[in-house]
Amino acid sequence: MGLIADTLTLKCKNDVYFPREDSFLLAEAVEKHTRGKVLDLGTGSGIQGIVAAKKGCDVTFSDIDTEAIKCAEENAKTNGVNGRFLKSDMFSNITGAFDAIIFNPPYLPSKPIQSMKENKIQRALDGGKEGRELIESFLEKYKGFLDKGGIALLLESGHNHYEKDIATKGAQLLFKKHYFFEDLVVLLLY
């Protein structure tokens, strides 16, 4: 494909979510739409922030999980990029405004989100009722962290009823691809 994500060397250990179809679809949007100061919220392996940094963006990598932060930092170093690495539960420890916020949330429908003591890989996938618990939290707060003219890139699944965000939040559909049992989409928000 010739995309930045295709050239990266990524490793994950300690139950950190390894990039899959969702990650690569979002990375394509990151490559095409990010600029300036970027927040990679829920960074996991760091793939999104690394793609943005390879473009010359100033990236803050954040995640609720300490192991994910370590993983993202190691992957950034391996791929020759720098950034700030911050432990944060969603926006709880985030300060400042960004030109772009990237978020690949847990989006699969499940029971209500449980504690971090559960399997971390499962937690990286389980989005609670209708897969929207963290999506709704993100949508309530992201605008407070966008610089004037800034954007947010949000990955969702057909299971999340992403059409609701297009109709009520003014989100624009950037990418839509069908994988196995679901459609994955990347939404652009202002």
For residue range 90-104, list pLDDT tens digits in order. Answer: 999 999 999 999 999
Give me the count of residues in the chain.
190
pLDDT for 111: 60
pLDDT in tens, 8-18: 999 998 789 89
pLDDT for 119: 56
pLDDT for 64: 93
pLDDT in tens, 23-33: 999 999 999 99
The model's pTM: 0.90
The one-character DSSP state at 152 is E
CA atoms of 146 and 7, how far apart (whole Å): 29
The mean pLDDT of 143-158, rounded to a whole number, is 96
For domain 4-189, is the CATH number 3.40.50.150?
A: yes
- Does pLDDT of 182 surpass 90? no
How far, CA to CA in Å, does 108 sit from each of 28, 33, 99, 137, 173?
Answer: 21, 25, 28, 15, 19
Q: Which of 109, 167, 142, 98 has its CA nearest to residue 83? A: 98
pLDDT for 117: 47
pLDDT band at 110 (very low <50, low <70, confident <90, very high): confident
Give the three-state DSSP class for 188: strand
pLDDT in tens, 44-92: 999 999 999 999 999 999 999 999 999 999 999 999 999 999 999 999 9
The mean pLDDT of 167-175, rounded to a whole number, is 95
CA atoms of 134 and 131, how far apart (whole Å): 8
pLDDT band at 43 (very low <50, low <70, confident <90, very high): very high
What is the rounded average pLDDT for all residues in the chain? 90
Could you give the strand order of the β-sheet that contains 182-189, starting from the edge strand earlier in sequence?
84-87, 58-63, 37-41, 98-103, 146-157, 182-189, 172-179
> Where do the structural domains in the chain lie, given as residue ranges?
4-189
Is residue 58 within 8 Å of 99, Cβ to Cβ?
Answer: no
CA atoms of 50 and 32, how far apart (whole Å): 14
The mean pLDDT of 158-181, rounded to a whole number, is 92
